[in-house]
């Protein structure tokens, strides 16, 4: 599993139109169940994604085609992790 930390690097590029393009782009990844969760940071300095892509290369291919990344508005870092404990509702995610 992967945690993606997205950080705004050029706020002048974060428009409503670009945000909609970003959300529309990621919808297919949510439908494939490869992206599990995502949302804004508070304060709004970027966002977080939780992914279960097969490997980091596959995830990077998805991220590098994201309109936020392609526009130069956002950078990201990826942390791989292995879930070992979970609340009952998410026990199916623990390996």
Which CATH number covers residue 34? 3.30.70.1060
Checking if the pLDDT of 92 tops 90, the result is no
pTM of the model: 0.91
Checking if the pLDDT of 95 tops 80, the result is no
Domain residue limits at 39? 2-93
pLDDT over 90 percentage in the chain = 88
Which residues fall within 8 angstroms of residue 93, CB to CB, at 6 or more apart? 1, 36, 83, 86
Q: How do residues 17-48 score in pLDDT, each as one tens digit?
A: 999 999 999 999 999 999 999 999 999 999 99
User: Token digits for 92?
Assistant: 């199916």
pLDDT at 22: 96
Q: What is the tally of structural domains in the chain?
A: 1
Q: Name the residue among 60, 49, 45, 47 with its Cα closest to residue 9.
A: 45
- What's the 3-state SS for 43-90? CCCEEEEEECCCCHHHHHHHHHCCHHHHCCCEEEEEEECCCCCCCHHH
């Amino acid at each position: 599993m992967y945690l993606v930390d997205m950080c705004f690097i050029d706020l002048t590029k974060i428009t409503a139109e670009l945000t909609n393009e970003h959300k529309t782009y990621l919808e297919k990844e949510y439908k494939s169940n490869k992206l599990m969760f995502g949302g804004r940071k508070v304060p709004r300095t970027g966002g977080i994604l939780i992914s279960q892509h097969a490997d980091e290369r596959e995830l990077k291919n998805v991220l590098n085609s994201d309109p936020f990344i392609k526009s130069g508005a956002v950078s990201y870092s990826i942390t791989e992790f292995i879930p070992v404990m979970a609340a009952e509702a998410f026990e199916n995610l623990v390996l």
